[in-house]
Amino acid sequence: MSEFAHVPLDADNTPKIATGASARRAAKWFNYGTLVAVLMPLPLAIFWTGMSMLIYALNKHHPNPKVGYYTQLAAYRFYGVAGSAVAVAVFFPPKIIFYLVIWAIAAVILVPWTIYDLYRINHDTWTDSVIEPHVPFNDE
């Protein structure tokens, strides 16, 4: 028999606090990733497409609903432009100039919009969020 009793990590059952600064930082992640991926398209755009799905999933379920809102707006922009670029680029001849043009169009669309979104995030009011402890389901 073990001399240590099993104690869950969250045994204190006290609510946790997600600070407003943490929420603001989380809301910026998707926008920063989009900026880097657009400004350095190969290979970062390809990696960002995969990584952005993780960032979206993490931030969409953040305790502060504003984080999910700003992440969802950034995701709509990025996935819309990326999907349109892929759909159009399928019909391009194998010349680099066509791909550079579609990249420039994507940058013209995404960069100003993303910078404006970062401005909005920085000037929004961010409050602390309370994270309630998990209550297990009792089936009795």
Read off the pLDDT of residues 124-136 as tens digits, 9 standing for 90 and up. Answer: 999 999 888 877 7
Q: Going by C-beta distance under 8 Å and a sequence separation of 6 or more, which residues neighbour residue 9?
A: none
Rounded Cα–Cα distance for residues 25 and 127 (Å): 13
Rounded Cα–Cα distance for residues 112 and 45 (Å): 17
Strands (E), 16-92: 16-18
Model confidence at 121, in pLDDT bands (50, 70, 90)?
A: very high
Confirm whether 138 is domain-assigned. no
Residue 44 sits in which domain range?
A: 17-131
Q: Give the per-residue pLDDT at 16.
A: 85
Rounded Cα–Cα distance for residues 35 and 77 (Å): 12
Confirm whether 3 is domain-assigned. no
Model confidence at 11, in pLDDT bands (50, 70, 90)?
A: low
Q: Are 121 and 27 in contact (CB under 8 A)?
A: yes
DSSP β-bridge partners for residue 17: 130
pLDDT, tens digit (0-9, with 9 covering 90-100), for 38-64: 998 778 888 999 999 999 999 998 999
Q: How many structural domains compose the chain? A: 1
Confirm whether 1 is domain-assigned. no
Confirm whether 8 is domain-assigned. no
Query: Is a pLDDT exceeding 60 seen at residue 7?
Result: no
